[in-house]
Amino acid sequence: MIGHLPVPYPDELLYSICARFASRVKYPSMKSILRELLGAPTASAVVDLPNHLSNLAAVLPEGTSLTADRLIDSHTLFPFFSAFLPPERVRRLRRSMRGDDGSSVHMRSGIMASRTPTPRYLRFCFACKREDRARFGESYWHRIHQLSGVEVCPSHQIFLESSDVGLCSDRKHLQFISAEQATRVIPVHPVDIGNREHRTLLQLARDAEWLLNHPSPGTNLKAFHFRYLRLLIERGMGTYTGSIHVKKLLDGFLSHYSPALLSLLHCELRGRDVEKSNWLLRLVRPPKHGS
């Protein structure tokens, strides 16, 4: 059992909590930290969906309210992914994060199959950094800032900046590096509310933040399909028999979202024949599996 673990801050990544712990205890090696917290010196300092969390919960001081499930729901990116997965898959993903099967975590979350890349570096909002220091005496890594597709801070409406902490598979994947060590003073780039693309990015960030704060047990994929179909019918892009007016949908989508924005979000419509197959059409067509 460890003597203490830093009290988690609002929206703080578990990675960040462990980084602050590592900064305080100053163990001789990062393997010692991994063994102490996760019960395995071969474990990695994973940012998004860590595992070994039952081991971590077991070594926390007596009387703590932190359980493996609370860590998963409140201090990892799990709620963002669970909102779009079938319930049974969510349960398996949660079990994998409690246990030591790290290879299955990213497979079950859908990250490995996604063409949307994860951010290359841990990111931060300078206004959050300033507020955190004033409120808590130190800055920390926020969950919302690390999500793919989130480019701005929903609280301060400024663009996120990359830190010095790379997320590629090198020796740093064994390290916990705190925000105090890796962030710096930089010019602030505010969102222009008069810019439609900026407004879209801000809304995406706010929606992602809501998902993080409202963990879901999962959703049947057929329910998503019926929801999308209803919205398409309301806009004259679908019928009650389930048919989709593909050209009308694609024309409307591409007139609303600019190529530059779709490229930034890695959501371009690609393929030899985009009117037959692309990610948008797969999203609104009946799923191959209902659960």
Continuous H helices in the chain = 14-25, 30-38, 53-59, 68-75, 78-82, 87-98, 102-109, 126-136, 179-182, 196-213, 221-234, 246-256, 259-264, 279-284
pLDDT number for residue 273: 67
- Give the model's confidence band at 290: pLDDT under 50 very low, under 70 low, under 90 confident, else very high: very low
* Nearest of 110, 105, 7 to residue 47 by alpha carbon: 105
- Give the model's confidence band at 291: pLDDT under 50 very low, under 70 low, under 90 confident, else very high: very low
| Lowest mean pLDDT across 64-68, 99-103, 122-126, 253-257 | 99-103
- Count of residues in the chain: 291
More confident residue, 221 or 114: 221
Q: What would the pLDDT profile of 110-119 be if each residue is shown by its tens digit? A: 665 566 788 8
* Cα 37–Cα 3–Cα 61 angle in degrees, nearest 5: 80
Coil/strand/helix, residue 124:
strand
Asked if 232 contacts 249 with a C-beta cutoff of 8 angstroms, the reply is yes
More confident residue, 160 or 108: 160
More confident residue, 133 or 36: 133
- Give the model's confidence band at 267: pLDDT under 50 very low, under 70 low, under 90 confident, else very high: very high
- The pLDDT of 279-289, averaged and rounded, is 85
Q: What would the pLDDT profile of 190-209 be if each residue is shown by its tens digit? A: 999 999 999 999 999 999 99
pLDDT number for residue 109: 65
Q: Which two tokens stand for residue 171?
A: 């020796």
- Give the model's confidence band at 20: pLDDT under 50 very low, under 70 low, under 90 confident, else very high: very high
Other residues' Cβ atoms within 10 Å of the Cβ of residue 39 = 15
